[in-house]
Amino acid sequence: MSGLARSPQEAMILGMVTVGLLALVAAGLLRWLRAGRIWTDLLVPACFLVAYWLTYNKVPSFPPVGAVNKIFFVAVIGTALGVLIEATGRSGLGRALVLAQPIASAAYIGTARLPDALPEVAAAALWGLLVMHGLSCGTGQSEDESGTRRATLLGIACAGFAPIALLGASSSSFQLSLLFATTIAAIVAANISNPDFGFRSASLLGGAGGMIAVAQTVTLITRKTDMLALAVFTLVFVTPFVVDPVLRRVRATNKAVRIATFVGMCLLPVGASLATVIARYGSSFPV
Amino acid sequence: MSNLLRTTLLAATIAWLPLTAERAAAGTFDIDPVHSGIAFFIDHLGFSQVIGIAKEFSGSFQFDPARPAESSLDVAVKVAGISTNNSQRDSDIQGADWFNATEFPQITFVGHEFKAADAKSGTIAGDLTIAGVTKPVTLDVTFNKEGQNPWDKSHVVGFSARTSIKRSDFGMKAALGMIGDDVSLVIQVEGRARS
């Protein structure tokens, strides 16, 4: 607890407000400077790394010892690869890496469980693949709308994963998820009408890749994840594939309406997973 | 009369010699889990010290009372057997934020430097490994007793040890503001000589 907070809850909220403001200032500064998409693309992974540092109070040494420390390097390497892809414009390689990363991440995080728990590690890899596919395939009418959508989806997913992480006996992952979700909300708020906003390879490989590694750690290493809640929650990554037919049906052309519809549809599975968690654990919710 | 006294003294000395030889001999001792224990104490919000125990551990040591510096100690604690008297919490501390039992199922201590302060106390410096992180730790040791167990006639050595570590040194930084960083360890060991 910091000196300003009188309870763990207050410390948590204070941390979220602080990182949210920092992300808002950083995103606003980049927008004011008219930084290109490569720079705005770095915001999301940078926020993930800051959230990690605030949660675990450390930058792990290399080589990392244990899954929690590996998460940091999954995000750092993902960010570096993402920047490289954007700088060289090799989108084909980027697409391949976005799909390969969750598989590599599952194998790396779950090394201790191989070969005995190969089916579980494979399931975690496939889950990560689905998440990445959902995050990278959803497209809006313009690139900035696509970027906003992807960032929004990742932010809502982080907030939705937090209670699953808490029930999965990982208060640190709970904290990290909420801190990261707050920073993403700030980034989206600052860039809602920014045509230069990009949620590209670095955001996917560094930011989303880092969060996938967090979820894989909770499921493969801590091994207390509620699978029903996780299954319901995972439906949020299907939203990008079903939202466009809905938008066409309602003939929504205004970006704000389209984004609001997207947010509403993302909140449905996240709300359902939260309801699942509460229904299954009720008063034993370990707050 | 003096012959009788001399004979008696000689007989007593001869009878005592094997015991002395046994006591002085270096031996390998297996830790007796039934009469040994490892407990830890950790602060909870400043209100109390939560007590945890290691239910499953094993190890051995080599001990020579005449040459304590040449002793050695190896202990392994099964992380899955750590209990804090609350099943929810016991399950939680097995996770990646804490002991990470999946990747690091054992806590180990290897003692490699023994220093006697006096006939009854001393220190054991060694390497403690928790969650894959190894740090030097020094145990303050009190030598309790060495002798024969009257029940099974086994040769037993008993000592008590204490130390304090910081969990953050071992990468366990979860909930640092609420749950203490300093962990006190209290160890009671009874070792039985290998026959």
Q: How far is A58 from chain B (nearest CA, A)?
A: 9
Residue A99 in tokens? 């799909």
CB atoms within 10 A of CB A87: 11
- E strands, chain B, are 27-31, 37-44, 48-54, 57-63, 72-78, 82-83, 106-116, 121-130, 133-148, 155-166, 179-193
Residue A236 in tokens? 């949020």
Question: Which residues does chain B have within 8 Å of residue A108's beta carbon, measured at their own beta carbons?
Answer: none
CA atoms within 13 A on the CB side of A92: 0
Residue B78 in tokens? 């099964």
Q: Is the ipTM of this complex over 0.85?
A: no
B76 DSSP β-pair partners: B58, B108
Nearest CA in chain B to A69: B171
Task: Tell me whether residues A171 and B174 touch, CB distance under 8 A.
Answer: yes
Distance CA B55, CA B74 (A): 17
Q: Which of A3, A9, A20 is nearest to A189 (CA)?
A: A20
195 residues of chain B, pLDDT tens digit each: 455 445 444 444 333 333 333 444 568 999 999 999 999 999 998 999 999 999 999 999 998 777 877 888 999 999 999 999 988 888 889 999 899 999 999 999 999 988 888 888 999 999 999 999 999 999 999 999 989 999 989 999 999 999 999 999 999 988 887 899 999 999 999 999 987
Question: Which residues does chain B have within 8 Å of residue A112's beta carbon, measured at their own beta carbons?
Answer: 102-103
Distance CA B59, CA B191 (A): 9
Q: Please name the helix (run of DSSP H) or strand (run of DSSP E) that holds residue A171, with its range, or none.
A: helix A171-191
Question: Which residues does chain A have within 8 Å of residue B174's beta carbon, measured at their own beta carbons?
Answer: 171-172
287 residues of chain A, pLDDT tens digit each: 556 667 778 888 999 999 999 999 999 999 898 888 888 899 999 999 999 999 988 899 889 999 999 999 999 999 999 999 988 888 888 889 999 999 999 999 999 999 899 999 999 999 999 999 999 876 556 666 788 889 999 999 999 999 999 887 788 899 999 999 999 999 999 988 887 888 889 999 999 999 999 999 999 998 888 899 999 999 999 998 888 888 888 877 787 888 899 999 999 999 999 999 888 876 555 44
What part of B 116-155 touches A (C-beta under 8 Å)? 131-133
Distance CA A196, CA A174 (A): 31
Please indicate if any CB of chain A lies within 8 Å of the CB of B41. Answer: no
SS3 letters for A128-158? HHHHHHHHHHCCCCCHHHHHHHHHHHHHHHH
CA trace torsion B117, B118, B120, B124 (10° rounding): 20
Burial of A279 (0-12, 13-18, 19+ CB in 10 A): exposed
Distance CA B89, CA A44 (A): 33
What global pTM score does this model have?
A: 0.86
